[in-house]
Structure 1
Amino acid sequence: MPKVIWWGRSDLDYSRNRICRQLLQALGYQLIDFSPRISALADIEAQLKGLSADLVWVPCFRHRDVASAARWARKKNIPLLFDPLISAWQKQVYERQKIRADGLAARRLLNRESQWLHSADMVLLDTEPQRQMFMQRFKLSAAKTACVYVGAEQPLFTPIAAERSPAAIEVLFYGSFIALHGVQTVIEAARLTRQHTHIRWVLLGDGPVRASAQQQAVGLGNVDFEASVPYRQLPQRIAQADLVLGVFGDSEKAAQVMPNKVFQALACGRPVITRASAAYPADISKQHGLWQIEAANPKALSEAVVQWSDCAREQGQAAHTLYARYFSPPQLQQQLQTALHALGFVHA
Structure 2
Amino acid sequence: MPTALMWGRFDPGYSRNRMVRKLFEKLGWRVEAFRPFSSRTGRAEALFRGPGRPDLVWVPCFRQRDIPSAASRAGKWGVPLVIDPLISAFEKEVFEKKKHAPGSPGARRLLEWEKGLFSAADLTVADTPAHADFFCENFELDPDRTAVFHVGAEQDMFRPMPPPPPGPPFEILFYGSFIHLQGADVIVEAARKSRDMGLEARWVLLGDGDLKEETEKKAAGLDHVRFEPWIDYHALPGRIAKAHILLGIFGTTPKAGFVIPNKVFQAMASGRPVITRRSDAYTGAIQESDLIGWTEAGDPGSLAARVKKWLSDPDGLKSRGEATARLFRDFFSEKRLEKTLSNIVDRAMERVRE
**Smaller-chain TM-score range?**
over 0.9
Picking from 327, 334, 338, the partner of 2:339 is 334
**1:248–1:254 contact (8 Å) kept in structure 2:** yes
Measured in 2, the distance between the counterparts of 1:276 and 1:197 equals 24
What does residue 241 of structure 1 align with? 243
String of CA shifts for 1:44-81, please: whole Å, max 9, x gaps.
Answer: 32232352101111000000000011011111111111
- Residue by residue over 1:2-42, the C-alpha shift from the partner in whole angstroms, topping out at 9 and shown as x without a partner, is 10111011111111111111111111111111111222221
Cα RMSD of the aligned pairs, angstroms, is 1.6
Distance in 2, Cα, partners of 1:140 & 1:21: 26
- Matched with 2:221 is 219
Provide the C-alpha distance between the structure 2 equivalents of 1:300 and 1:288, rounded to a whole number of angstroms: 15
Contact 1:256 1:279 in 2 (8 A): yes
Q: Which amino acid aligns with 2:219?
A: A
Q: Percent identity?
A: 42
1:141 partner amino acid: D
Which range moved further: 156-165 or 73-82?
A: 156-165
CA distance in 2, matches of 1:212, 1:122: 40
Q: CA deviation at 1:330?
A: 1.2
Question: Could you say which residue in structure 2 is the equivalent of 1:196?
Answer: 198
Distance in 2 between the 1:151 and 1:285 partners?
16
Paired with 2:35 and 2:222, the residues of 1 have a C-alpha distance of 48
Alignment of 1:1-348 (within 5 A): 1-49=1-49, 50-161=51-162, 164=165, 166-194=167-195, 195-309=197-311, 310=313, 311-344=316-349
Structure 1 residue runs without a partner (length 5+): none
Q: Does 224-233 or 307-316 show the bigger shift?
A: 307-316
Structure 1 stretch displaced more, 303-312 or 132-141: 303-312
- Contact 2:163 / 2:318 at 8 angstroms: preserved in 1? no
Q: Give distance in 1, aligned partners of 2:56 and 2:193.
A: 53
3-state SS in 1 of match to 2:276? strand
User: Residue 89 of structure 1 contacts residue 109 of structure 1 at CA under 8 Å; is this kept in 2?
Assistant: yes
Q: Which runs of 5+ in 2 are unaligned?
A: none
Q: Which amino acid aligns with 2:160?
A: P
Aligned counterparts of 1:144 and 1:281: Cα–Cα separation in 2:
20
What TM-score, normalized by structure 2, do the two folds share? 0.94
- Answer yes or no: is the 8 Å Cα contact 1:288–1:322 preserved in 2: no
Residue 334 of structure 1: how far off its partner (Å): 1.6
User: How far does residue 344 in structure 1 lie from its aligned partner after superposition?
Assistant: 2.3
Per the TM alignment, residue 163 of structure 1 is displaced from its structure 2 partner at its CA by 5.0
Q: Identify the range of structure 1 (329-338 vs 46-55) with the bigger mean alpha-carbon deviation.
A: 46-55
Cα separation, 2, equivalents of 1:168 and 1:315: 19
- Partner of 1:135, secondary structure, is helix
**Distance between the aligned counterparts of 2:238 and 2:150, measured in 1?**
23
**Farther-moved stretch of structure 1 (226-235 vs 282-291):** 282-291
Q: 1:174-229 deviations in whole A, cap 9, x for unaligned?
A: 10010110111111111111143421111111111111111111111221111111
Which shifted more, 310-319 or 64-73?
A: 310-319
Query: How far 1:133 moved relative to its partner?
Result: 0.6
CA distance in 1, matches of 2:151, 2:179: 18
Q: Which moved more, 1:127-136 or 1:32-41?
A: 32-41
For 1:3 and 1:45, locate their aligned partners in 2 and report how far apart those are by CA, in whole Å.
Answer: 20
Q: Is the 8 A contact 2:2 2:54 kept in 1?
A: yes
Q: Distance in 2 between matches of 1:85 and 1:226?
A: 27
Is the contact made by 1:4 and 1:56 (CA closer than 8 Å) also made in structure 2?
yes
TM-superposition CA deviations, 1:281-325 (whole Å, max 9, x none): 322244353121111111110000000112323312111001101
**Which residue identity lines up with residue 349 of structure 2 in the other structure?**
G
Deviation, structure 1 residue 252: 1.1
TM norm structure 1: 0.96
Counterpart CA distance in 2 for 1:343 and 1:45 is 25
Aligned residues of 1:7 and 1:33 also touching (Cα < 8 A): yes
Q: After superposition, what is the alpha-carbon deviation per residue over 1:159-182, rounded to whole angstroms, capped at 9, x for unaligned?
A: 234655742211101100101101
